[in-house]
Amino acid sequence: MISSTVVEQRQGTYQSRDQRRLFYREFGDPGAEHLPVLCLPGFTRNSKDFVELAMHLSEQRRVLCPDLRGRGQSDYDSDLERYHPQIYLEDIWELLAVTGVQRVVVIGTSLGGLLAMMMAATRPEAVAGVVLNDVGPEIAPQGLARISEYIGRLPQVRTWPEALAQSKAVYELALPNLTDAEWEQFTKRQYAEDVYGVVRREYDSKLGDALRRLGRVSGDAWELFVALKEVPTLAFRGAISDILSPSVFDKMALVKADLMRVVVPNRGHVPLLNEPECRVAFERFFANL
């Protein structure tokens, strides 16, 4: 069931196979002639990260932006082991079935990019194109260690000034040149007020335990990347990223000769996708899809 909030955006929910209530945002005309787009967020992020991009793309396409379980407005999971890429993948297929989408271009940030590769490996006929945002088949150990250290261990905030300070403490090295207004916007994408007006992070703190206990995608992620061999693919790397190393980024180009690559200056993990370099790349990439 979908209810309108503003002209450009609709919000919906659906049930996962294990009866979790999952949330998504939808933009654009469901009957648009161009291929629809699916935007998948990073590990602790949610659909709000893609609103600006989705509004732009929705001028010609239908765009779906889900909150993965345990994030945003989707249900949290009491079973830690269900915070796992394979379960997220099942939820994604369910979303596409519910919305009647058979073939998509997938934009995936970090974890979302790994899920995009899993989609191509599992159902290649459903994936028409992929955008990988600062993620590849190998994750740099120092970056993974940094993320594992803070997820689920940050002190709780209660006010917007506290949330802003925490947001800067975690991300300032990766986003060195944001204005005050941009920091406020960025913070509001990952925090929200509860029914009592208290500001809280929009993800389950148990995600940190899941990451530390269960780890990442099982198997060889290079095999997943090879599944993109026939799939038009655009890859972004933050120039100062500690997750996607220059050597892995170069190896990706060797494995997939037609890979469209863009290095985003002054960005670590991850580019926000509104940078000028990203906008130009998106125009080129979607021109042929």
* pLDDT tens-digit map of 2-43: 433 444 799 999 999 999 999 999 999 999 999 999 999 999
Instruction: In whole angstroms, give the CA distance from residue 206 to residue 152.
Output: 6
Q: Are 204 and 77 a contacting pair, CB within 8 Å?
A: yes
pLDDT of residue 206 exceeding 90: yes
Burial profile 182-211: b = 16 or more Cβ within 10 angstroms, e = fewer: ebeebbbbbbbeeeeeebebbbbebbbebb
pLDDT digits (tens, 9 = 90+) for 185-196: 999 999 999 999
pLDDT band at 213 (very low <50, low <70, confident <90, very high): confident
According to DSSP, the residues that pair with 238 across neighbouring strands are 264
pLDDT of residue 149: 87
Cα–Cα distances in angstroms (integers) from residue 4 to residues 50, 80, 96, 192, 217, in the given order: 18, 33, 19, 20, 36
Nearest alpha-carbon partner for 237 in 132, 141, 125, 150: 132
pLDDT of residue 215: 58
* The amino acid at 254: L
pLDDT of residue 219 exceeding 80: no
Residues ≥6 apart with Cβ < 8 Å to 31: 62
CATH code, domain with 58: 3.40.50.1820
Expressed as residue numbers, the domain containing 39 is 2-286
pLDDT digits (tens, 9 = 90+) for 163-174: 999 999 999 999
Give the count of domains, the chain.
Answer: 1
- How many alpha carbons lie under 13 Å from residue 125 in its C-beta half-sphere? 1
pLDDT digits (tens, 9 = 90+) for 121-160: 999 999 999 999 999 999 999 998 899 888 989 999 999 9
pLDDT of residue 74: 98
pLDDT of residue 7: 44
Cα–Cα distances in angstroms (integers) from residue 67 to residues 70, 72, 260, in the given order: 8, 6, 27
pLDDT of residue 218: 55
Burial profile 110-127: b = 16 or more Cβ within 10 angstroms, e = fewer: bbbbbbbbbbbbeeeebb
* DSSP code at position 214: H
pTM of this prediction?
A: 0.94
pLDDT of residue 1 exceeding 60: no
Instruction: In whole angstroms, give the CA distance from residue 288 to residue 27.
Output: 21
pLDDT of residue 214 exceeding 80: no
Is beta strand 233-238 parallel, antiparallel or unpaired with respect to 104-109? unpaired
